[in-house]
Structure 1
């Protein structure tokens, strides 16, 4: 048990130092160690609230999944340009100053719907599927109304992701 915690402390310290390289190792280890000791002392409180935490995370992540699925399969018909995602030279995924406003509108409406029907007025069936559907329909509707899509008009088949492996058949 002790060796596991020592390795977790060591790993988190090195991860922190990889991002913030000018920090001192000993000071960083002490601060992270104190934080983890406080977390251990609060374990009963954390366990009592863990289920609520999971419910909140689920409520807020359902719209994200809906947006990703609708954007990939319905809006862009399974097409994406990996070089453009990395380089951004053609600005296909740039939208409005780097922000796809329609995804934010859809997310906040979907997350608000999910929050309301999870915490304020609980539905007997739950709000998961309805939140997914509301977010999907709002996003799909906004995209259809505005005609925003990055799929080129002359594309026939969705582009496959290259794995880098050669077919040896």
Structure 2
């Protein structure tokens, strides 16, 4: 659900299961696991149904790149109106395709040729046929250079610009251990 805060903070790091057909058992189980890991803290009431302030371990679980990043973790910590918070989508029955405002050219996972006409093939289970090597790939298997994702559930970390931060390996490993699902990420 979009909130007024979303308009101010459009950039985000998004975690999603690597296999778009899989998801944790429940949204509540995901919330509990993220709280135990320290990624999320108290409920952020203005952020929507499953929105949370960053938790005590946030800066150990999300690695900000660059020599001295300044991240506001609470509203009003900087002159910038945005701050980092975490929002989850409820688990859906079918995968959803998410795409950044300026997506990279998607490429064939086999030969790296640019994907043609992928816009017409975004439904779950759609197959892309490469015009160069003729390999058939599910749309989510194209190389989007982390500018798109496909899944039934998303963990959105608002206030993160593309390639400004990455999830720490131990965050992805803890999600895998807790839910039996490999996780990936993209930027919107």
Quickly name the TM-score band, shorter chain normalised.
under 0.3
Structure 1 or 2: more helix by fraction: 1
- Pick the structure with greater CA Rg: 1
Q: Which structure has more RCO (C-alpha within 8 Å, separation ≥ 6)? A: 2
Q: Name the TM-score, length of structure 2 as normaliser.
A: 0.23
Q: Name the TM-score, length of structure 1 as normaliser.
A: 0.25
